[in-house]
């Protein structure tokens, strides 16, 4: 715990962040789709030092039955952090934070899934954070979108997710752990690039109006970059999968998008 | 929130009225319901308030007990917020352990008062690393007609304003008022058929597409935000709710 | 904890109790019916320093189904203390004490409700103690009766409830907190004034036969006074509610009772 | 307790016999079932008893461990009573966390021995405010044919009489007998069709209108009472059960 | 805690164990069948200082329904230790150890029960350890078999159970508590004497190949002795029960076995 | 494990192939699936490994924190093994508290590494009776195609080999490698129609009659064993699995 906010120079004299990034620079992002054998769809994301796995099962029968919706599918996300994913071992099982994140990710994904195609079913999305380094909800939502596509669940578009924030009075994109711990604000965003819709939005810290406007724009730009990596991962996946089989993934009109 | 046939009919009804610029209870889109705040309602609490926002009724109680600080904040008191959506308050609440909805409510309330520095937690430290005040903010919802976020937020701010640190009872010197720093006020709006309505009633919440809560402090800065429900917002809609939060928050703050 | 049993004079030389009451004197009692919008019936009780809210939902479908009784309604009470209702913060959620109180209040109310009119249903009674100062189960049962009547649930009669006890070797009615903490016995009673039936009875402490007889008589007298306040609250409620609408509340034969 | 068709038939049968002054097992209304008590049944407990009351069979074990006193009773040991209505004992008991019925049983047993000062808790204090004996009274119900209250109460009293405080093992001097002060004996009666029957069997409990448990000590004073079930008692009926408790309690006490 | 492995002579110069037994000598074993009134079958076992009760309910309707097997009965064992059964009071309720033991005993019993006779039902076996002194899973399985037979559940044979182990480098049968605590290995075995089948087997500690072979043979010999005591208990039970009623207990062909 | 119609068909299919000496994936009866082990996969853990055994994929993380020893082993660190069969890994796993299957997996893995003295716990003592290292071995199952026992056991051994005791961070001197003592390797075999197959796939596990896991150390000694499922083994079959465990264990050990 040597580092405290006062010692730590989150932005240096050259405007570089602790890990050398510029304010609008994102951490390296790698996405791989179709990495698990049992799940209907899956994706693995390495984003900076985050390692996140997502898996999708369904549409399948919804249990317990009283949760069934006669008109549409339920998208139920379960976000979980492995006990070894953080420096201080986390007790296994859900805590209040993970319940909240599960809820807002479920809501964000529900917006893009054609739930009306699968009444009474459940589409179960599991997100496992294996190594955490700030931004795991964005990484999880990003991975979950790809896993849904990999599972062949019809969607309006992928949800891309990225955060912005404020450190040392500077608005920056994609906070790393120290920036999250000792920074001044965080704005995780879930975004639908094709429509410009905001499906996940939180904020905490202290932001002027201008800072908020700048931050959310930066986060949107980040989402657009994430979106490209998501699409690349799916393309690679289909190239592997399809030796002559048809592509039909992103529901509405995948052909137009060239996928 | 299950959207069944009744909800569909209700939705149609609400939406039709909204087309004409009317809410079911006659309010304007950017108008809060009547608000009454009664502080020191609970004698057994160090601070308390009973808030009625329309038919929504919550009691917020603040209790302070001695305890240890967290290892990473040795100089600060500890803030713990709990919300109980008890089945008394609505037939949509069930008993048992808190569900995702209760947890979200509690966490959003907590985020507002924590990130807005409603209480100066550093002044709740007795001995660094050893002993601090643990502050419990308990939100008890008695009657639920929507918008718990703001009712509870207002209740917490009101309770803080009148709360006393019970130092004497604990053998830690004289009692003193809870060190209040800011008054972070939250505003919640929902989106129904593209319209933005503040302070939604239960019926409006049930049929809403999306929900956004924004908390601001005295200088107009943002301190917390939470989007909810399955729908989406455009960036302009977000900016609109931010502006409403600043404006209405100032009004509410002036009335506490 | 300055006060211990030895320092504390629970009865003074004039026979007055700590708060100035005589042995057979009750604390002030206020009841208001119909105070909540969502519940089918409700009542708020201030009794001395107790503040108790009761709400009733039902008769409604009974969940889980295996609890349904094909011949009658289930009266299910849930007694709960708010975490801030006592000096030392109570952990939220039910404890063993509240489970026991919920059970005996459910049983007491079941006796007066015409449960046979509503087979397979549940009548759910919620009691929330917002501020506690001894006698909360009596205050809760008293409030619950009024809330049931306010909900229009047909009942043989209201249950009125009041405790007696022993402090400083004197039998007294309606113990306050210090009397409960440092007294010698407590007898909470639930009573049906019209029939003279005892539907709730507990006792703990040390009582001779004579003291018990005197105590239970005192508690009964207390119940009768409570009953008057309950009926007043309902009268006021109906006066507000009915501008020409008919009264039909206490099931069996309310007209006879002049309500 | 669900009252289904079988229960209705059983009720008719029992009631018809009661009209003639007969109980299904041939007992008189005010007659207990055969009672056997075997103490020191469990070597791993500091005190124990196996009680059979008719076909009801319970094992009561007493364990003592070192611990801290409650803040408001710094000079007293701590008494904790637990009852497990395990599914072995009856097909009406389910596994899992204790339900309201188990909790009521445990609390009524606890109330009897606590309020009747069965054990002198002050003599279980080692260092005021710091260290005391924590006494666990665990009631394990093996076979359930009604009236757990009294079977467990008798078992607890019997276990106390033979229990040893394991001071030596804990490095606190020599072992000594558990400081027993009183023998508060409970009597449970039920009301069926206006008749009062003591020591109800399982079938009698299932069809009973109301139940009353009264505990008394040596001098005839009352120390605990609990009314249960959906029915009501008249004042005279209460007095009658109080008298029976005094009379039968004396008899049971003499046999421990 | 005076005794530590170094002070303690688990085998003396005469080859005797702490309690005077020879390596292949078992502790005294007493079994009584039919000891509870409410259960369909029951058995009480005293084995050395172990005191164990077993009860059987069923075949009966299986709850929850989704566990029902349309082709056979479910044998569901619940092994539980009373809080006072060990020197340091055990917290009431199941722990991980008891869950594991419940599972392996269920599996062992399932093998011998004609589960196909009772589709969709559950046969519930409850094992309560009242006093524990090593070997409680063997005592529990032994008791459960007898309780199943007492309940009239048709079985291929009884399961007999006994452990062997290693103490002070010597292979011994039926470890007592000190031998279990300070010994070198333990091998609990569940055995079907009529067929020679192994239905429960665990091992922990350190054993050479030869030691394991010797140990498992010793445990088998122990099981055969246990089997005799089980059969005696059932014989006594039937002699009491049957004044002219037919015997029909061990399903398949009890007559052949002379029971 | 519910054996429904699909399972019956699968069973027939598997059994028919086995008659011809063939497993569904083409393996020999005594042949393991391809194994890959990647250590130091998790930077936030003190030691870790990602193991793929066929399509089964587990991550094992080792964390060390300071704590108190158990009263009866004052000179030893504490080993705690936890396995999470999370619903991500298979549609047969459900969320919520660990069920009997998860518990058995965790306990069998624990038994292997504990009884085989994989880690020298005495070297994890800092101050006898006061302070020791608590070692958490967490098994996270990502993809479940059978034989978790061995995949997790291999993962734990691999993680131990590369784990570092974080003494410096805790102010307890310099970091040092986790004191590994033995490498107890487990082998799991199932019995289907009298045939013994090692390293069962998920389908093979589902239709198996009985399962046996045997763990051995370098010198060929046995350290842990667990039989599972409703079927039975003969003594000769047990000896056969023991021999296979020795042989295959040696091979696996050489590859870590």
The predicted-structure confidence for C108-126, as pLDDT tens digits, reads as follows 999 999 999 999 999 999 9
Q: Which residues of D touch C70 (CB under 8 A)?
A: 4
* Cα distance between residue B30 and residue B200, in whole Å: 10
- Smallest CA–CA distance, residue F67 to chain A, in Å, is 13
Of F59, F73, F208, F62, whose CA–CA distance to F129 is shortest? F73
Minimum mean pLDDT among C53-57, D10-14, D145-149: which range? D10-14
For residue C244, pLDDT over 70 is answered with no
Q: Are F234 and E195 in contact (CB under 8 A)?
A: no
E101: closest CA of chain D, how far (Å)? 17
Tell me if F87 and A126 make a contact (CB, 8 A cut-off): yes
Q: Is C192 on the interface with D (CB under 8 A)?
A: yes
Spatial CB neighbours of E19, under 8 Å, sequence gap ≥ 6: E27, E48, E176
| Phi, psi values for residue E227, rounded to 5° | -60, -40
Which residues in D lie closer than 8 A to residue C220 (C-beta atoms)?
235
Mutate which of F6, F76, F97, F103 to test chain E, going by most E C-beta atoms within 10 A?
A: F103
- Chain-chain contact of F143 with A37 (C-beta, under 8 angstroms): yes
Chain B nearest CA to C121, separation (Å): 15
Pure H helices in B20-132: 100-115
CA neighbor of D115 nearest in space, from D159, D81, D64: D81
Q: For chain A, which residues make up each domain, given as ranges?
A: 29-258
The residue whose two tokens read 């109800």 is D200
- B51 contacts on C by Cβ (under 8 Å): none
Query: Confidence class of residue D2 from pLDDT cuts 50, 70 and 90?
Result: very low
Q: Which domains does chain D have, with CATH numbers?
A: 3-253 (3.30.230.70)
What pLDDT shows up at residue A6?
61
Q: Which of A10, A15, A25 is nearest to A221 (CA)?
A: A25
Residue F163 Cα, gap to closest chain E Cα (Å):
25
Q: Which residue has the tokens 């201030």?
A: C46
- CA atoms of C58 and E156, how far apart (whole Å): 54
Percent over 90 (pLDDT), chain E: 85
Inform me whether the C-beta atom of residue A198 falls under 8 Å from chain B C-beta atoms.
yes
Contacts with E78 from chain D: Cβ below 8 Å = 87, 95
Candidates F43, F139, F142: best to mutate against A (most CBs of A within 10 A) is F142
Compute the distance between CA of residue E201 and CA of residue E198 in angstroms, rounded to an integer.
7
B48 has a pLDDT exceeding 60: yes
* pLDDT one-digit tens code per residue, B195-241: 999 999 999 999 999 999 999 999 999 999 999 999 999 999 999 99
Q: In what order do the strands lie in the sheet with C185-192?
A: C170-173, C160-167, C185-192, C197-207, D222-228, D210-216, D185-192, D195-198
Confirm if E110 and E124 have CB atoms less than 8 A apart.
no
pLDDT band of D97, cuts 50, 70, 90: confident
Query: Residues 50 to 109 of E: which have CB under 8 A from any F CB?
Result: 69-71, 96-97, 99-100, 102-104, 107
Q: What does the pLDDT read at residue C63?
A: 79
Q: What's the mean pLDDT when you consider all of chain A? A: 91
What average pLDDT does chain F have? 94
Evaluate whether B256 touches B47 at the Cβ level (below 8 Å): no
* C5 vs B117: which has the higher pLDDT: B117
- The pair phi, psi for residue D83, each rounded to 5°, is -125, 130
| CB interface of B with C, residues 62-101, below 8 Å | 62-63, 65, 82, 84, 86-91, 95, 97
Question: Percent of chain E beyond pLDDT 70?
Answer: 90
User: End-to-end alpha-carbon separation of chain A, Å?
Assistant: 47
Whether B42 contacts chain C with CB within 8 A:
yes
Contacts of A88 in chain F (CB under 8 A): 65
For B182-249, strand residue ranges (E) read 185-192, 195-198, 210-216, 222-228
Residue C30 CA to chain centroid, in angstroms?
13
Greater model confidence, B38 or C3:
B38
> What mean pLDDT value characterizes chain D?
94
Task: With CB atoms and an 8 Å threshold, state whether E212 touches F222.
Answer: yes
Closest partner CB to A89 (pick from F43, F65, F140): F65
Rounded distance, CA D101 to CA D112, Å? Answer: 17
Asked if pLDDT for residue F202 goes beyond 70, the answer is: yes
Say yes or no for a CB contact (<8 Å) between B91 and C89.
no
Half-sphere exposure of C179 (CA within 13 A, CB side): 31
Taking CA atoms, what residue in F is nearest to A130? F42
Confidence of residue A149 (pLDDT cuts 50, 70, 90): very high
Instruction: Inspect the interface and report whether the beta carbons of B104 and A103 lie closer than 8 Å.
Output: yes
Total-model pTM: 0.92
Our CA-based measurement puts residue D183 at a distance from the nearest CA of chain E, in whole angstroms, of: 22
Residue of A238, A214, A225, A150 whose CA lies nearest to A191? A225
Residues of C in contact with B90 (CB under 8 A): 38
Q: Where are the beta strands (DSSP E) in chain D?
A: 35-39, 47-53, 56-67, 78-84, 125-127, 131-143, 164-165, 176-177, 185-192, 195-198, 210-216, 222-228
Cβ pair A84:F89 closer than 8 A: no
Which residues 153-182 of B are in CB contact (within 8 Å) with C? Answer: none
Of C57, C50, C64, C183, give the one whose Cα is nearest residue C123: C57
**What values do phi and psi take at C117, rounded to 5?**
-75, -20
Contacts of A85 in chain F (CB under 8 A): 42, 44, 61
Q: Do F233 and E99 touch (CB under 8 A)?
A: no
Total Cβ atoms within 10 A of residue F37: 21
CB atoms within 10 A of CB C110: 20
pLDDT of residue F4: 63
Helix (H) or strand (E) holding E51: strand E50-61
Average pLDDT of chain E is 91
Among B46, B88, B98, B206, most C C-beta atoms within 10 A, so best to mutate, is B88
Return the pLDDT at B92. 84
Instruction: Look up tokens 């109680």; give the residue.
Output: B61
Q: Do C206 and D232 touch (CB under 8 A)?
A: no
Q: Are E177 and E158 in contact (CB under 8 A)?
A: no
Distance CA F204, CA F146 (A): 8
């084995």: which residue's tokens?
E47
Q: Taking CB atoms and an 8 Å cutoff, what residues of chain D touch E88?
A: 65
Mean residue pLDDT of chain C comes to: 91
Superfamily of segment(s) C29-258: GHMP Kinase, N-terminal domain (3.30.230.70)
Contact F63 A84 (CB under 8 A): yes
Average pLDDT over residues C11-32: 96
Is D229 near chain C, with CB under 8 Å?
Answer: yes
> SS3 for E79?
strand
Interval B157-166: pLDDT, tens: 999 999 999 9
Contact between F236 and F221 (Cβ < 8 Å): no
Min Cα–Cα distance to chain F from A139, Å: 16
Helices A96-112 and B100-115, axial angle in degrees (round to 10): 110
Mean pLDDT of D187-198: 97
Q: How confident is the model at residue C242 (pLDDT cuts 50, 70, 90)?
A: low
Tell whether F239 lies on the interface with E, counting CB pairs under 8 A. yes
């Amino acid at each position: 715990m040597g580092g405290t906010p006062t010692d730590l120079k989150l932005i240096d004299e050259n405007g570089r962040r602790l890990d050398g990034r510029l304010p609008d620079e994102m951490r390296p992002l790698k996405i791989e789709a179709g990495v698990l054998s049992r799940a209907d769809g899956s994706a693995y994301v390495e984003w900076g030092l985050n390692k996140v796995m997502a898996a999708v099962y369904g549409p399948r029968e919804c249990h317990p039955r009283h949760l069934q919706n006669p008109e549409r599918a339920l998208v139920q996300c379960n976000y979980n952090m492995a006990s070894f994913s953080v420096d201080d071992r986390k007790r296994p099982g859900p805590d209040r934070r993970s319940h909240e994140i599960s809820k807002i990710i479920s809501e964000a994904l529900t917006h893009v899934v054609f739930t009306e195609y699968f009444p009474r079913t459940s589409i179960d999305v599991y997100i496992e954070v294996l190594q955490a380094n700030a931004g795991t909800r964005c990484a999880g939502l990003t991975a979950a979108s790809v896993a849904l596509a990999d599972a062949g669940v019809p969607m309006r578009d992928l949800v891309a997710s990225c955060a912005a924030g404020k450190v040392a009075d500077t608005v920056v994109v994609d906070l790393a752990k120290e920036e999250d711990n000792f920074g001044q604000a965080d704005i995780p965003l879930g975004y639908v690039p094709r429509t410009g819709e905001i499906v996940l939005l939180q904020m905490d810290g202290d932001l002027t109006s201008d800072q908020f406007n700048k931050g959310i724009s930066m986060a949107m730009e980040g989402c657009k970059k994430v979106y490209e990596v998501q699409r690349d991962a799916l393309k690679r996946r289909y190239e592997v999968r399809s030796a002559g089989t048809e592509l039909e993934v992103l529901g509405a009109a995948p052909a137009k998008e060239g996928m | 929130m299950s959207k069944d046939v009744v909800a569909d009919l209700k939705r149609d009804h609400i939406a039709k009225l909204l087309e004409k610029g009317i809410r079911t209870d006659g309010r304007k889109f950017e108008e809060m319901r009547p608000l009454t705040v009664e502080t020191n309602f609970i004698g057994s609490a160090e601070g308390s308030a009973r808030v009625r926002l329309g038919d929504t009724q919550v009691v917020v109680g603040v209790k302070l007990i001695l305890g240890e600080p967290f290892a990473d904040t040795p100089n600060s008191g500890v803030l713990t917020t709990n919300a109980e959506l008890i089945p008394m308050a609505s037939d949509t609440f069930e008993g048992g352990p808190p569900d995702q909805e209760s947890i979200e409510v509690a966490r959003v309330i907590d985020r507002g008062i924590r990130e807005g520095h409603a209480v100066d937690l550093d002044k709740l430290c007795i001995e660094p690393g050893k002993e601090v005040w643990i502050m419990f903010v308990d939100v008890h919802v008695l009657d639920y007609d929507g918008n718990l976020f703001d009712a509870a937020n207002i209740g917490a701010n009101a309770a803080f304003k009148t709360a006393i640190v019970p130092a004497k009872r604990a053998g830690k010197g004289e009692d003193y008022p809870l060190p209040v720093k800011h008054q972070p006020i939250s505003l919640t709006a929902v989106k129904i058929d593209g319209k933005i309505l503040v302070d939604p009633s239960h019926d409006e919440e049930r049929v809403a597409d999306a929900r956004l809560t924004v908390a601001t402090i005295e200088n107009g800065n943002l301190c917390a935000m939470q989007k909810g429900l399955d729908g989406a917002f455009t960036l302009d809609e977000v900016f609109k709710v931010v502006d409403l939060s600043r404006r209405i928050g100032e009004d509410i703050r002036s009335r506490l």
